[in-house]
Amino acid sequence: MLNYLPRTLQPKAKAALHEIWMAETRSDAQRAFDQFITSFGAKYPKAIERLSKDRTKLLAFYDFPAEHRIHLRTSNTIESAFHRAPPHRPDQGLPDRATECFP
C-alpha cells in the first residue's frame, strides 16, 4: 500500500497506519482509518482504494479481547504464542556432542 505513495510521504503514512494498528478500541481505529483516508484520499486514490477494500478484514483484529491483541500483533508464530526467545548468537557456535552428551 505504501508503494502507491511517494517516498517522501511514506514515513508519514506509515505513522498514520501505525495509529490504526495500535489503537486501543475499534472506534479509535475507525477514527484513525477515516483520518488516514481524508489525509491521503484526494491525491492518492489508488492507495486508499487498496486500503479501503479490506477495511473489515483489517479491523477484525479488534474482535478479539484486548488481552490477546499483544500476541496477535506479531507475525512470528512462536513469539505470538510464547514470550520473546533470546536470539541465537553466531559467536556461540554449536556444542561439541562428545563433551555435551558425555561429561
70 pLDDT band, cuts 50/70/90, is confident
83 pLDDT band, cuts 50/70/90, is low
38 pLDDT band, cuts 50/70/90, is very high
- H/E stretch holding 72 reads helix 66-72
Q: Which set of grid coordinates corresponds to residue 100?
A: 555435551
Domain ranges of the chain: 15-82
Q: Which residues of 45-79 are buried (b: 16+ CB within 10 A; e: fewer)?
A: eebbeebeeeeeebeebbeeeeeeeeeeeeeeeee
34 pLDDT band, cuts 50/70/90, is very high
